[in-house]
Amino acid sequence: MLAGGTLAVLGATLLTAIVAVSSVPAGLASFGAALTITPLTYLTHRHYTFRSDNQVPYEVGAFLSVVALNYPLGAAIVFVSVDLMDVPTFLGGLLATALLPVINYVLHTNWVFRKRESG
């Protein structure tokens, strides 16, 4: 949680800096910030959070799959909670913000960084 929280703050700081320096719209800047922070996120989780010694190519592919899943999954959580269940928008966003790290942790633990048999 410490690693994820620190990386989230770093990503938000980078996003703010990109917008301030380049006047790029925030949506586009968030994509640039994500591209920049994703390798650091992978390395932090590989070496600190999960202490993995698995094959890097497999892990990177699985990690990037989880990263790619985040946006549509977050949008789906908001859609179901706000549009289908009439939850207030703020709470739907908060629900997605709370559930995505849990889902990511489960996917990282059981798939991306799961210990594999060598050989």
Is the pLDDT at 119 greater than 60, yes or no?
Answer: no
Examine residue 117 and state whether it is found in any structural domain, yes or no: no
Token pair belonging to 112: 């991306």
Examine residue 119 and state whether it is found in any structural domain, yes or no: no
Residue 65 and residue 31 in contact, taking contact as beta carbons nearer than 8 Å: no
Examine residue 78 and state whether it is found in any structural domain, yes or no: yes
**pLDDT per position as a tens digit, 27-66:** 788 888 888 999 999 999 999 999 999 899 999 999 999 9
Query: Which of the four pLDDT bands, split at 50, 70 and 90, describes residue 118?
Result: low
Examine residue 28 and state whether it is found in any structural domain, yes or no: yes
Number of domain units in the chain: 1
**Residue 55, phi-psi category: left (phi > 0), alpha (psi -120 to 50), beta (remainder):** beta
pTM: predicted TM-score of the whole model, two decimal places: 0.82
- Domain with 28 in it: 2-112
